[in-house]
Homo-oligomer: A and B are copies of this chain.
Amino acid sequence: MIDQETIGLLLKGVNNVTWQSLVMIGVSFVLLYLAIVKDYEPLLLLPIGAGCLLANLPLSPLIGEEGMLVALYHMGVGNEMFPLLIFIGIGALTDFGPLLENPRLVLLGAAGQFGIFLTLILALLLGFTPNEAASIGIIGAIDGPTSIYVSGILAPHMLGPITVAAYSYMSLVPIILPPVIHLMTTKEERLIRMPYSSRKISRRTRILFPIIVTVLVGTLVPFATPLIGMLMLGNLMKESGAVERLTKASAAEIANTVTLFLGLAIGSTMVGADFLKPSTLFILVLGLLAFALDGCAGVFFAKILNWLSGGKINPIIGAAGISAFPMAARVVQRVAQEEDFENFLLMHAMGANAAGQVASVVAGGVVLALMGAGG
C-alpha cells in the first residue's frame, strides 16, 4: 500500500538538493552560455554543460550504477578510446603540406610546448601532486584530445575541469594570442615579410610522412603511440586516397557521435564536492598561464630563428606553434595584417601550426613517459 514511505520517495528529489548541486547546476549554465551564446567550442562545451547539468540533478539515475552517463564514461573515457577516435578524424582533415614544404618549422612546434613544463613547476609549488601537476601542465598543449588522454591516465579525478579548460582556451585563441604576440614583438618584427615559395609535395612523401612520424615517435616515446598513431592513421587514410569511405566516416559520423558521448561523459564527472575545490580555480588559472607561456615561448624561439636567419623569419609565426590547428595560424595572419594589410604569413603560420599539432602530441607522450605512467 501507498504510505508515508511512498510519499517520502516523491519528495526525495527535492530533499536531496544540496548547495553543491545548485552551484554545479550554475556552472553547467555558464558552460551552456559559453557554448550557445558566446560560441566557445560549442561541440564540446554544450555536451559537457548538459552532462554536468544532468549529473547534478538530485539523485540523478544517469550517474547511478548502470546509469547512461556512467556507461558512456566506461565506453570511451575510462579506456581513452573517445579522444583517440577524435584524433583519427582530426588527422583525416589535417594537411601537413605547409610543414612539408618548410620542414624547419617543426622546431617552432617544439618551442610552443614550453608552457606545459613551466606550468607543471608552478602547479608543483602550489601543492599539487606530480601527476596532477603534469595533468594541469598538459592544458598547455592547447589540444583537447591530448589533454583528455593524458589527464585521463594521470589524474582522472581532474578530468572535468582540465577538459573544460582545454577546450575553453582553444576557443579563446583569437582573444589570448594577439596580446601575447604584441607583448613579445616590436612593430618592426611584426612587419617582416617572408618569401613565399611552393614545392610540389609528391603523393609518396605525403603518404610516407604519417608512417615515418608514427614509427619515429612511437619507437622513441612509446607512451605517445596511441595519440600520434591515431592522428597519423587519419592522415594516412586521407593522403592515401584509397579509403575515402573510412576517411569520411572518421571525420564525420564517428567524430560527431564520439564528440557527443565524450562531452556528456566528461560533464558527468563534474559532480559536487569533487569539483568545488580551490584546486579547480587553480587549474583554470594555471591552464590559462600555460597557454600564454606557450605563446611567449613560441614567439621567443621564432625570434632566435629570425636572428639566426638574418631577419628572414617573422617572429609572430612562432605563436602558431602552440597547436589549435588551424585557428592559431589564422590569428597570426590577422595580427600581421593589422599592421600591414598586404603581409601574408598564413602559409608559414600553417606550417608552424601543423608542427605544433605534432609537437603537442609528442609532448603529451613525453610527459606520460617522464611520469612513468603505466610503465
Q: Write the residues of chain A forming the contact surface with B, with a CB cutoff of 8 angstroms.
A: 2, 6, 9-10, 12-14, 16-17, 25, 29, 32, 35-36, 39, 42-43, 46-47, 50, 53-54, 57-62, 64, 66-68, 71-72, 78-81, 84, 88, 207, 211, 214-215, 218-223, 225-226, 229-230, 233, 236-237, 240, 242-243, 245-246, 248-250, 252-254, 256-257, 259-260, 264, 369-370, 372, 374-375
Query: Does the CB pair B219–A14 fall under 8 Å?
Result: yes
Query: Does the CB pair A245–B43 fall under 8 Å?
Result: yes
Query: Does the CB pair B226–A67 fall under 8 Å?
Result: yes
| A246: chain B residues within 8 A (beta carbon) | 43, 46-47, 256, 259-260
Query: Does the CB pair A14–B249 fall under 8 Å?
Result: no
| A218: chain B residues within 8 A (beta carbon) | 13, 54, 57-58, 60
| A61: chain B residues within 8 A (beta carbon) | 222-223, 225-226, 374
| A59: chain B residues within 8 A (beta carbon) | 222, 225
| A370: chain B residues within 8 A (beta carbon) | 2, 6, 9-10
Query: Does the CB pair A39–B242 fall under 8 Å?
Result: yes
Complex Cα gap A259–B36 (Å): 29
Query: Does the CB pair A13–B222 fall under 8 Å?
Result: yes
For A81, give the chain B residue with the smallest CB separation. B68
In the complex, 21 of the A-B residue pairs with CB atoms within 8 angstroms, ordered by the A residue number, are A9-B369, A13-B220, A14-B219, A32-B211, A32-B236, A36-B240, A42-B240, A42-B243, A43-B245, A46-B240, A47-B243, A57-B218, A60-B225, A62-B229, A64-B374, A68-B80, A68-B81, A233-B264, A245-B259, A246-B259, A250-B260
* Copies of this chain: 3
* Given A43-B246, A67-B226, 9 other A-B residues pairs in contact with their CB atoms under 8 A: A2-B370, A10-B369, A13-B220, A43-B243, A46-B236, A54-B225, A54-B229, A57-B214, A254-B257
Give the residue among A6, A62, A84 with the most B Cβ atoms within 10 A: A62
Query: Does the CB pair A58–B222 fall under 8 Å?
Result: yes
- Give the distance to chain B from A372, nearest Cβ to Cβ, in Å: 5
- Give the distance to chain B from A367, nearest Cβ to Cβ, in Å: 12
A25 touching B215 in the complex, CB below 8 Å, given contacts A9-B372, A36-B207: yes
Query: Does the CB pair B12–A222 fall under 8 Å?
Result: yes
User: Of the candidates B50, B58, B240, which one forms a contact with A219 in the assembled complex, judged by CB atoms under 8 Å apart?
Assistant: B58
Complex Cα gap A84–B236 (Å): 27
Query: Does the CB pair A12–B375 fall under 8 Å?
Result: yes
| A248: chain B residues within 8 A (beta carbon) | 256
Query: Does the CB pair B68–A84 fall under 8 Å?
Result: yes
- Give the distance to chain B from A157, nearest Cβ to Cβ, in Å: 17
Query: Does the CB pair A222–B43 fall under 8 Å?
Result: no
